[in-house]
Amino acid sequence: MTDTSADLVILGGGSGGYACAFRAAELGLSVVLVEKDKVGGTCLHRGCIPTKALLHAAEVADNAREGDQFGVKSSLEGIDMNGVNSYKDSIVAGLHKGLQGLFKANKVTVVEGTGTFEAPNRVRVGGDTYTGKNVVLATGSYAKTLPGLEIGGRVITSDQALNLDYVPEKVVVLGGGVIGVEFASVWRSFGADVTIVEALPRLVPLEDEWASKQLERAFRKRGITFKTGVRFTGATQSDTGVSVSLESGETLEADLLLVAVGRGPNSAGHGYEEAGVAMERGLVTTDERLRTNLPGVYAVGDLVPGLQLAHRGFQQGIFIAEDIAGLAPKVIDETGIPKVTYCKPEVASVGLTEAQAKEKYGADVQTLVYALSGNGKSQILKTQGGVKLIKAPDGPVVGITLVGERVGELIGEAQLIYSWEAHPEDVAPLVHAHPTQNESLGEAFLALAGKPLHVHG
């Protein structure tokens, strides 16, 4: 039984927790981080990184299958899931090793074990306690399911989907949000017959309606079936398959049902409620400086209401460390957090959708869509889609959405434009290299500034 004191005690070593730990250590604070599983959390072990490795393997499969389109004689012989998994796992393992090295380099003390938050400012791990001048709650999130839909056997979440050792022949994906469409995309590229069921009227419903339409068109072309505006009513499974029933009366038969209906806060069973941490529907409520209702106690990442994204967690973690160190960092603009959905084609956005902009600025919001058909590099890649700009009346650009293969890599510039509150005339003179997909952003701004170059029709 020991009691250790530190400037900062962090409960959870995912994106939010470790970013906070590293920044605090850089600022000279002593840091203890408690992690019950592996540092790196969901993003590294069960989220961003392994899914993007699968998506890359899917792209390689598509390239092999579609070589003919480019005059390259190639064909897809099949998918060796053991090979795919060992590629994916080697990426995760390499990054995990690197991250462990960063903990050592930053001299952050990692305590392995399940922590319980005990007020005031104390975390217990077994018989040992860790008292911090400040405590950060960073326990993340878990894959949710629907009432009455038990996870097990052929009914899986992303956690199991990441480690399948075979490609299902037929799969139903419940949920057309980011995680659902990413797995649908992977499995389709690997040759599965995929049906997405989404209760809302469109895929990726948080994105601009234009982006949903673009994605739906591309998915249709790829042979991915989707049923939107349809509610799921139940699922039964047997040794040979799973039957999924819908409100419409239809029944879908598949080998697997992926439940991708969102992620819930991992806030139960860690002592939060007993210690009096204010929560709403399980999410830890904070002010804009990420302070909970308890003095000296902060919360970060998926546990806090808002976008559940790793880079938001990183930024929040850094913010908290700087706030504690007295650097008075600027409050994070949630709308300026870029979002990328890495399916084929990708959807990337920052700022407001057209509907949100109209709600905020009225009907005079200006929009412009630049189609990738005018962009040489996108034609070389044979990808379709476009760039949509949204501008406040007599004001700056307040939203940018892109659809197309590889456009996720373009969101960096879009984010700068949004965050610097640029006007089209500020961006139009900036020269974009030819031929790049990046040029499509430049051309969209030329068009919005009234001097279109490669614009058809």
Ligand X SMILES: Cc1cc2nc3c(=O)[nH]c(=O)nc-3n(C[C@H](O)[C@H](O)[C@H](O)COP(=O)(O)OP(=O)(O)OC[C@H]3O[C@@H](n4cnc5c(N)ncnc54)[C@H](O)[C@@H]3O)c2cc1C
Active-site residue set: 434
CA 70 to chain centroid:
32
Does 175 appear as a known binding residue? yes
Nearer to ligand X, 96 or 377 (CB): 96
Does 182 appear as a known binding residue? yes
Does 14 appear as a known binding residue? no
Diameter over CA atoms, the chain = 75
Nearer to ligand X, 124 or 432 (CB): 124
Nearer to ligand X, 141 or 440 (CB): 141
133's tokens: 């001048």
Least separation in angstroms between residue 290's CB and ligand X is 12
Neighbours of 72 (CB within 10 A): 10
- Give yes or no for a contact between 425 and 412, defined as CB atoms under 8 angstroms apart: no
Least separation in angstroms between residue 415's CB and ligand X is 13
Does 177 appear as a known binding residue? yes
Does 386 appear as a known binding residue? no
Q: Which residues contribute to the site for ligand X (CB under 6 A)?
A: 11-17, 34-37, 41-43, 46-48, 51, 114-115, 138-141, 158, 179, 266, 270, 301-303, 308-311, 313
Nearer to ligand X, 14 or 399 (CB): 14
Nearer to ligand X, 317 or 399 (CB): 317
Least separation in angstroms between residue 202's CB and ligand X is 20
Nearer to ligand X, 320 or 371 (CB): 320
- Give yes or no for a contact between 332 and 315, defined as CB atoms under 8 angstroms apart: yes
Residue 191: C-alpha distances to residues 58, 123, 170, 381 (Å): 10, 48, 9, 21
Does 141 appear as a known binding residue? yes
Nearer to ligand X, 178 or 427 (CB): 178
222's tokens: 């790829």
Least separation in angstroms between residue 457's CB and ligand X is 35
Least separation in angstroms between residue 24's CB and ligand X is 15
Least separation in angstroms between residue 346's CB and ligand X is 11
Least separation in angstroms between residue 19's CB and ligand X is 8
Does 176 appear as a known binding residue? yes
In degrees rounded to 5, what are phi and psi of residue 46?
-135, 15
* Of residues 135, 128, 95, the one with CA closest to residue 113: 128
Does 431 appear as a known binding residue? no
* Known binding positions for FAD: 52, 115, 139-141, 302
List residues forming the annotated binding site. Answer: 52, 115, 139-141, 175-182, 198, 262, 302
Annotated binding site for NAD(+): 175-182, 198, 262
